[in-house]
Structure 1
C-alpha cells in the first residue's frame, strides 16, 4: 500500500512539474504586460491572482476581458479604468493551457519560492530595476539613435520594420508617423515607464507586432535606444503641455482682471449729459 502511495505522489509531482513548465512557456506571451511579484506594467501584477479571483473569473477574463467589460462585470471594469482604459487582447486559449499558466503563477505564491522570484525568468525586466539603469542609458546619443530607428533613418539589425510605419510620436522636427496603431507620444507614462516599453519591445503582445518582429527581434542596444527616445519624447510633451496650461491660466486671470476694471469704470461713468443740471434749472 505504501508503495502505491509513493507512486501516486511521484505521478502527481511529475504532472504538476510538467504543467508548470508548460505554464512558464505559455506565460511568455503575458510578459509584455504583466509580472509575477515585480509590480505593475501595462496590466496588474499577477502574484497571488488565485487568492484574489476565482478560477472561473480568471479564465473568462483571459479568454475575453472585452466581453466581461461590455457585460458590466464590476471587477473587469475597475481594472479597465485603473490601467488607462487599455483593452487587454482576447486570448481564446484552451482551459488546459490557462490552467497551466495559472498553476505557474501560483507557484510563486509558495514561501519556498519567494526568494527565487527576483532571479526567475519571469522577471524579464530585471535590468530595468537596477538603480543605475536609467543613469546609464539616458544619454543624448541614445535618444538620437532611438529617434533615427523609430523614423526609419537607421535600419534595425535584424531587418524589422521601422516603428513609424504604424506609430507616431510628437517631437520637435519629427516626421509624421503612421496612424495604423497607437500614438506613442505619451507611451512612457501610460504603459509603465521603461519597464513597460522594454516588455512590449521584447515580448510583443499585439498580433501585428508579433508578425513583424518574431523573426526580426530587436537587439538590446536598439531596445535601449527606443526606450530613451520614447521616455524623452513623453517628458518633452509633458513640459510643453504644462507651459500651455500655465499660459492659459495666466490669460484667464488677466481677462478677469480686465473685466473687473472695465466694470468699475462702467459703473462710475457719467450717467447724464454735462448740461443736464443747467437744463433742469432753466425749466
Structure 2
C-alpha cells in the first residue's frame, strides 16, 4: 500500500514539474511574441539598429539605461521630464522637443518589449556591435537613395490627390484633409481637428519620420482611424513626396525671420520718434486763451 502511495506521489510530483517547466517555456515564448507585437506601436518613432527616426535608435538601449528607468520612461516620458530627470530632459531636447506618448502597459508587457529589443543586441565579446554613427550614416545614405528614386512630379501630384481625397485609398481609409491642413499655392482648405502638416516633413525628421508615422500611426485617433484601413506602401510613398514639397514651398530660413523682426522693430522705433516730434509741437493751450491774452494787452 505504501509503495503504491509513494509511486502515486512520485507521478504527481513529476507531472507538477513538467507542467511548471512547460508553463515557463510557454511564458517565455509568449513574452518574445508579445514583445514583437507590442513593439509595432513604437516603429513610427524608433528602430532597432536602423538609425534614428523621430526618436533614438534603441539598439543596446539596456546597456545605456537602467531597466527601471526604461520602464518609467515608456510609461510616461513627460512625467520624468517635468520631474527634471537629466537624461529624459536631454533626450527631449535632442529630438526637437517632440513628446512621446504615454503607454499604459503592465510590468510583464514592459518586460516583453525590453526583452524583444535586447534580442537584437550583440554580445560584447563578439566585437560585432554596430556603432550609432555607422547605423546613422547607413540610414542617411539609404534615405538619399530612396528620395532620388521617388521624387517625381507624378508622385507629388498623386500624393496631393490622396491627401485631399480626390484619389481614394485602396483600403478605404479617410482622406488626410478630413483632419489636417497643408499650405501650398494650390491648396484646398483642410480640417482643423489635428495639427497643420505644412512643415511636418522637417519637423518630424524627413522621410523616415513621415514614413514611420504614416505606416505605424503613434497617435490614438489616427491609429483607430486606420486600424482596419492601413495605407499601402505606394500610397505612403506618394504622401511622403507631397509633404516634402509642401515643406520646401513654405521654407523660410531662421535668418530671414530674424531679419524681418529686426526691420519691424526699426520701423516701430522710427514711427515712435516721428510721433514724439509731432506731439512735442502740439498746441498746449486753447485758441480762446490766445484771444483773451491779446485782448488783455
Question: Are the counterparts in 2 of residues 108 and 114 from structure 1 also a CA contact under 8 Å?
Answer: no
Q: Following TM superposition, by how much is the alpha carbon of 1:19 offset from its aligned partner in structure 2, in angstroms?
A: 2.4
1:173 to 186, 205, 208: 186
Question: Are the counterparts in 1 of residues 121 and 129 from structure 2 also a CA contact under 8 Å?
Answer: no
Residue 195 (str. 1) matches residue 208 (str. 2): yes
Residue 54 (str. 1) matches residue 66 (str. 2): yes
Q: Following TM superposition, by how much is the alpha carbon of 1:17 offset from its aligned partner in structure 2, in angstroms?
A: 4.5
Number of the residue aligned with 1:222: 235
Number of the residue aligned with 1:280: none
2:35 to 20, 23, 42: 23
2:90 to 75, 78, 87: 78
Q: Following TM superposition, by how much is the alpha carbon of 1:243 offset from its aligned partner in structure 2, in angstroms?
A: 9.4
Q: How far apart, CA to CA, are the structure 2 residues paired with 1:161 and 1:60?
A: 35
Question: Are the counterparts in 2 of residues 168 and 178 from structure 1 also a CA contact under 8 Å?
Answer: yes
Number of the residue aligned with 1:68: 80
Residue 89 (str. 1) matches residue 101 (str. 2): yes
Number of the residue aligned with 1:110: 122
Question: Are the counterparts in 2 of residues 167 and 182 from structure 1 also a CA contact under 8 Å?
Answer: yes
Number of the residue aligned with 2:247: 234
Once the two structures are superposed, what CA deviation does each residue of 1:222-245 show, in whole Å capped at 9, x if it has no partner? 11110000111111211x557954
Q: Following TM superposition, by how much is the alpha carbon of 1:21 offset from its aligned partner in structure 2, in angstroms?
A: 2.5
State the Cα RMSD in Å: 3.6
Number of the residue aligned with 1:211: 224
Gaps of 5+ in 2: 1-17, 131-138, 271-297
Q: Following TM superposition, by how much is the alpha carbon of 1:48 offset from its aligned partner in structure 2, in angstroms?
A: 1.2
Q: Following TM superposition, by how much is the alpha carbon of 1:190 offset from its aligned partner in structure 2, in angstroms?
A: 1.6
- Assess, with a 3 A threshold, how the Cα gap between structure 1 residues 14 and 211 changes in structure 2: closer, same or farther: closer
Residue 144 (str. 1) matches residue 157 (str. 2): yes
Question: Are the counterparts in 2 of residues 165 and 177 from structure 1 also a CA contact under 8 Å?
Answer: yes
- Assess, with a 3 A threshold, how the Cα gap between structure 1 residues 152 and 26 changes in structure 2: closer, same or farther: same
Compare 75-84 and 30-39 and name the one that shifted more: 75-84
Gaps of 5+ in 1: 1-6, 117-125, 259-283
Q: How far apart, CA to CA, are the structure 2 residues paired with 1:232 and 1:197?
A: 13
- Assess, with a 3 A threshold, how the Cα gap between structure 1 residues 179 and 193 changes in structure 2: closer, same or farther: same
Q: Following TM superposition, by how much is the alpha carbon of 1:83 offset from its aligned partner in structure 2, in angstroms?
A: 1.4
Aligned length, in residue pairs: 244
Greater radius of gyration (CA) = 2
Once the two structures are superposed, what CA deviation does each residue of 1:130-150 show, in whole Å capped at 9, x if it has no partner? 653212210011111111111
Q: Following TM superposition, by how much is the alpha carbon of 1:159 offset from its aligned partner in structure 2, in angstroms?
A: 1.1
Question: Are the counterparts in 1 of residues 122 and 129 from structure 2 also a CA contact under 8 Å?
Answer: no
Q: How far apart, CA to CA, are the structure 2 residues paired with 1:94 and 1:76?
A: 21
Spell out structure 1 runs of 4+ moving beyond 3 A: 7-18, 111-116, 240-252
Q: Following TM superposition, by how much is the alpha carbon of 1:248 offset from its aligned partner in structure 2, in angstroms?
A: 3.7
Question: Are the counterparts in 2 of residues 168 and 177 from structure 1 also a CA contact under 8 Å?
Answer: yes
Q: How far apart, CA to CA, are the structure 2 residues paired with 1:115 and 1:188?
A: 31
